[in-house]
Amino acid sequence: MRVGPEGEVPPHHPNCFGCGPDNPAGLGLQMRVDGEGIRANLTLDARHEGAPGLAHGGVVAAVFDDLFGGMLVVLEAPAVTANLNVDFRSPVPLGEPLVLRASNTGADGRKLMFGATLEADGRLLAEATAVFVRVDLAHFKGTRAPIPEAWRRWGTAPRPPMHGSAQARDRA
């Protein structure tokens, strides 16, 4: 699983709720490397509704969680969410194009820290921070679901933070 030649970040696996192309209930998040992080465009619809005309807060949190998962793909770092914090600045409307951006904000041992924003038409609607903890691939074997072949190439040693799209693609 490598970043594509145009900076496209492949799905974590085909059935991923956030980015998996084979999941009919999924969000369809498509990410690409952008500067020192990743970017995604998304429009939420009635399937994602909480209050009338607005996105459910849990869906917004899931979008951020998956966006951070895209950072793990770029870094080739098997890890799991340890903490996810979302600050809602304004209601997230349905049917409007949304722009999401995420970046790596730090590392401490097995911990990887990320930050992200969600905007619509230049308005900041939500911000998120997360801590992910690196794990060995054996962590996922207990689920009995197949581990994507591409994950097997991922190293377990810490990788340097992502600094710019060219370096990220060079590592791919």
Q: Annotated catalytic, 65?
A: yes
pLDDT digits (tens, 9 = 90+) for 46-56: 999 999 999 99
pTM, full prediction: 0.86
pLDDT tens, position by position, 135-170: 887 787 777 777 777 676 675 444 444 544 333 334
Catalytic residue of the set 22, 34, 45, 65: 65
Q: Where are the beta strands (DSSP E) in 4-151?
A: 8-9, 30-34, 37-43, 79-88, 97-108, 111-120, 123-134
Strands 111-120 and 79-88: unpaired
Ranges of the chain with pLDDT below 70:
1, 150, 152-153, 155-172
Q: Which two tokens stand for residue 132?
A: 């992910």
Q: Dmax over Cα atoms in the chain, in whole Å? A: 46
